Amino acid sequence: MTMTRSVVLGCGSYLPEKVLTNAELAAKVDTSDEWIVQRTGIRERHIAAEGEFTSHLAIKAAQAALADAGVDAQSIDLIVLATSTPDNTFPASAVAVQNGLGINHGAAFDLQAVCSGFVFALATADSLLRSGNFRRALVIGAETFSRILDWSDRGTCVLFGDGAGAIVLDAQQQPGAPSDRGVLTTHLRSDGRHKAKLFVDGGPSSTQTVGHLRMEGREVFKHAVGMITDVIVDAFNATGTSAEDVDWFIPHQANKRIIDASAHKLHIAPQKVVLTVDRHGNTSAASIPLALCTAVADGRVKRGDLLLLEAMGGGFTWGSALVRW
């Protein structure tokens, strides 16, 4: 029996021009290129220019995704923007993106699940498309974490970067088979008991300030691999697939050691892992679509490939998705 699937028509990304290297950071705080590369795999990250907001990055990524998909912006009736660094407390940065793209029909909203934001946004858009209420969606992850970093805290300021990535999802009838194109399954989880391990120490209701990112890195690290692998096993069980069926593992890019350990635990071959953390740092909700677009642009990801996406971050939140390209 046929069923509605959210099929990916195209993807696009945008990185701010300015590149900040580990050597430049070592001139500001007590760190070294060697420590950062060894502990995280990060070599450089991009930083948004003054006056360049999250919505500006998101619009550029969305325009690139629309061009890659070969569809007109007017065909989009849903925009879900995953971000924890919106332009303003409100309105949602998604409406700035909608306006910037010249769209004034349909719905646009932000979704906040920190580093898991893109997987949460993908699952949300997929549900809304499959419900029949929307036809074509832009799912975007865009962040300017450089704006919420404490640049004197070496434990966090070396880890994050700015950027945006987007995909176009189209509601299409598919045969209802494992070989279907599109989003095959999504799995989302949260556990607020861990909310103080990775948080921003400000906000409109608590301090009336924006605040800075605070993290107990070792604590986050301790939980990451277990949470990531649990939710990926859920995705395998829901679809009757296994690590061998995965063509490309496109994880949230926080730390190469977490990615390597997760792939190892799941028996995913290292050559199937898409890694961009070395050049982008941790771009939170933008990291998965940025990595995805990199692997699409360089020809690794091909039509029919099975992609495994996963993320884990503040909350804690974590999630997985299996998508056939």
The binding site for ligand UT7 (CB under 6 A) comprises 31, 35-36, 39-40, 115, 154-155, 158, 217-218, 220-221, 224, 254-255, 258, 282, 313
Q: Please list, in sequence order, all residues whose beta carbon lies within 8 angstroms of the beta carbon of residue 269, skipping any fewer than 6 positions away.
A: 263
The smaller minimum CB distance to ligand UT7, of residues 26 and 306, is found at: 26
State in angstroms the smallest separation of the CB of 256 from ligand UT7.
9
Q: Check 46, 252, 280, 293 and give the catalytic one.
A: 252
282 has catalytic annotation: yes
Encode burial over 103-142: b for 16+ CB neighbours within 10 A, e otherwise: beebebbbbbbbbbbbbbbbbbbbebbbeeebebbbbbbb
Q: Check 115, 157, 194, 280 and give the catalytic one.
A: 115
State in angstroms the smallest separation of the CB of 115 from ligand UT7.
4
252 has catalytic annotation: yes
Q: Which of 69, 89, 85 is nearest to 9 (CA)?
A: 69
The smaller minimum CB distance to ligand UT7, of residues 100 and 155, is found at: 155
Residue 316 C-alpha from the chain's centroid = 15
Q: Please list, in sequence order, all residues whose beta carbon lies within 8 angstroms of the beta carbon of residue 18, skipping any fewer than 6 positions away.
A: 46, 47, 48, 49
Q: Which of 223, 200, 217, 164 is nearest to 36 (CA)?
A: 217
Query: Are 148 and 199 in contact, with CB atoms under 8 Å apart?
Result: no
157 has catalytic annotation: no
State in angstroms the smallest separation of the CB of 51 from ligand UT7.
26
State in angstroms the smallest separation of the CB of 89 from ligand UT7.
22
Query: Are 155 and 287 in contact, with CB atoms under 8 Å apart?
Result: no
The smaller minimum CB distance to ligand UT7, of residues 19 and 37, is found at: 37
Q: Which two tokens stand for residue 18?
A: 């300015």
The smaller minimum CB distance to ligand UT7, of residues 61 and 285, is found at: 285
Q: Which residue is nearest to ligand UT7 (CB)?
A: 217
State in angstroms the smallest separation of the CB of 282 from ligand UT7.
5
The smaller minimum CB distance to ligand UT7, of residues 121 and 158, is found at: 158
Catalytic residues: 115, 252, 282
